[in-house]
């Protein structure tokens, strides 16, 4: 249960490596852009590395869509997991299905199940400013087999705020970033909450992420290791 919760809440903000001229907070929407992240435990030990590669950019319904291939490689080099997700740029707002923001590990755990997703898209306006509050997003994920529901996960992302603009140094370099926070509630056989702090660099995307429990203790983190523009 704890591991499932951490994967859900941690990856809500971490998978964005993105993507569009209108959505200028994120990197240009160009095929071939590759971002590599390091994922660390609460003690700062590297657990795995993740690669996000923009493999296709196209227009659909007047919106720009990027298809991103992912690869998660644990430090033991075993059980490498591949997956993909899409993001959509509608004018100056970037949207992503919250289900698609789960980690490759979580996606793989659902691979033999029937999965249905209901609820909101999580939105990221490009014109961020300090003090801005962002909209709440709610999603319900149902998994089952042969038409029978086995598990229901309710996820709410709330208290989304732009706290500051500051300089952040990670292995990929030093970036001027917007600092965003949010609270993620996951209901599944009880309710668990976490607070996530994410630093976004304009023209790059998320460069650093930290996830805390309700006691304010660091549980996991993520840093941008390298960035190759397409």
Tell me, letter by letter, the H, E, C secondary structure of the chain: CHHHHHHHHHHHHHCCCCECCCCCCEECCCCCCEEEEEEEECCCCEEEEEEEEEEEEEEECCEEEEEEEEEEEECCCCCCEEEEEEEEEECCEEEEEHHHHCCHHHHHHCCCCEEEEEECEEEEECCCCCCCEECCEEEEEEEEECCEEEEEEEEEEEEEEEEEEEEEEECCEEEEEEEEEEEEEEECCCEEEEEEEEEEECCEEEEEEEEECCCCCEEEEEEEEEEECC
Using one digit for the tens of pLDDT, what is the confidence trace for 20-65? 334 655 555 678 989 999 999 999 999 889 888 889 989 998 888 8
Using one digit for the tens of pLDDT, what is the confidence trace for 165-179? 999 999 999 999 999
Using one digit for the tens of pLDDT, what is the confidence trace for 123-138? 777 678 899 998 888 8
Structure confidence at residue 8 (pLDDT): 42
Total tally of structural domains belonging to the chain: 1
Structure confidence at residue 159 (pLDDT): 94
Q: Bigger pLDDT: 6 or 170? A: 170
Give the domain CATH number at 81: 2.40.360.20
Domain coverage including residue 17: 2-228
Q: How confident is the model at residue 3 (pLDDT cuts 50, 70, 90)?
A: very low
Indicate if the pLDDT at residue 104 is higher than 50.
Answer: no
pTM of the entire predicted model: 0.78
């Amino acid at each position: 249960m704890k591991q499932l919760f951490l994967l859900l809440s941690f990856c809500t903000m971490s998978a964005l490596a993105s993507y569009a001229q209108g959505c200028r907070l994120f990197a240009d929407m160009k095929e071939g852009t590759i971002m590599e992240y390091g994922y660390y435990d609460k003690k700062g030990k590297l657990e795995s590395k993740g690669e996000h590669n923009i493999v296709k950019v196209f227009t659909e319904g007047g919106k720009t869509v990027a298809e991103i291939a992912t690869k998660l490689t644990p430090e033991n080099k075993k059980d490498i997991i591949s997956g993909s997700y899409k993001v959509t740029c509608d004018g100056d707002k970037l949207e992503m299905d919250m289900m698609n923001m789960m980690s490759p590990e979580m996606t793989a755990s659902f691979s033999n199940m029937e999965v249905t997703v209901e609820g909101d898209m999580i939105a990221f306006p490009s014109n961020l400013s300090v003090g801005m509050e962002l909209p709440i997003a709610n999603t319900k994920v149902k998994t089952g087999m042969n038409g029978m529901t086995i598990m229901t996960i309710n996820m709410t992302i709330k208290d989304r705020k732009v706290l500051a603009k500051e300089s952040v140094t990670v292995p990929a370099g030093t970036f001027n970033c917007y600092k965003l926070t949010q609270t993620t509630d996951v209901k599944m056989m009880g309710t668990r909450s976490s607070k996530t702090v994410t630093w976004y660099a304009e023209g790059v995307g998320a460069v650093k992420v930290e996830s805390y429990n309700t006691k304010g203790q660091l549980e996991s983190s993520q840093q941008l290791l390298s960035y190759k523009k397409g």
